[in-house]
Amino acid sequence: MPEPKSAAAEAASPVSIRRTVLRDEVKSVLLERILSGFYAPGDRLVEIRIAQELGVSQAPVREALRDLESVRFVESAPFRGARVRRVSDAELIEVYPIRGALEEVAVVEAAKRMGGDVSALEVELTGMRKAKDVREQVEHDAHFHELIVLASGNSRLIEIWHSLQVETRTAITALRMGITPKEAAELHEPIVEALRRRDARAAGRAIRSHFDHFGRMLARSQRGQD
């Protein structure tokens, strides 16, 4: 007679993994539609309709909408359901100093721990350059930064960084500002070079400059819309 599964084994079961993957895929589709204007601000997002259209159950749709609400791309109210929320450039700008401060701490520690091995980061740079669309570009961009944060070995910093929903916000920035794959890769190269030299101070300056650059670009974009 087989032994009962432990709680940890249950949590890692294929059913749990498939559900997580489905949620992420649904979230990706919904986000792309919001960013492209397919869903306009104020449009209702009806769970059952989306589930039927995508050929999934309502559970991953509900979870995806909850994820998007947590980063304020969707808003919901009792008896009114979920609707698309307009995300302003001002809200995106607010996050950049926070990410800059977090990742500056992370990259300084990463420089000490990585030993000059930037091969994994170079894989992401190549992925950015060769990206066929914004989704691919953003995946490599977000993973590049995640690798640096993970390399810091600071568990609290890693937890806070993940709470910022970096990939989602990066997607919005890339689409609004029309950043090409080649430009995206070039903007990350000074960080890689500093880490290759094991120069923690230079790496910190490079990543701070990186986020200051995007903050300024978004600020100019906002002024142009006023």
Phi, psi of 76 (to 5 degrees): -135, 155
Q: What is the pTM of this model?
A: 0.71
79 Ramachandran zone, left/alpha/beta (phi>0; psi -120 to 50): left
Chosen CATH of 7-84 out of 1.10.645.10, 3.40.640.10, 1.10.10.10, 3.60.21.10: 1.10.10.10
Q: Hey, is 77 helix, strand or coil?
A: strand
CATH superfamily of 89-225: GntR ligand-binding domain-like (1.20.120.530)
Give the C-alpha distances (Å, rounded to integers) separating 166 from 47, 99, 139, 146, 197.
Answer: 25, 9, 10, 9, 27
pLDDT tens-digit map of 72-113: 889 998 878 899 987 776 777 788 888 999 999 999 999 999
More confident residue, 155 or 73: 155
- In angstroms, the CA 223 to CA 198 distance is 38
Q: Look at 96 and 35; give whichever has higher pLDDT.
A: 96
In total, the chain counts a number of residues equal to 226
> Any long-range contacts for 38-43 (C-beta under 8 Å, 24+ apart)?
39/84, 40/84, 41/84, 41/85, 41/86, 42/83, 42/84, 43/83, 43/84
Instruction: Inform me whether the pLDDT recorded for 224 exceeds 70.
Output: no
Confidence of residue 71 (pLDDT cuts 50, 70, 90): confident
The structural domains of the chain, with segments of one domain joined by +, span: 7-84, 89-225
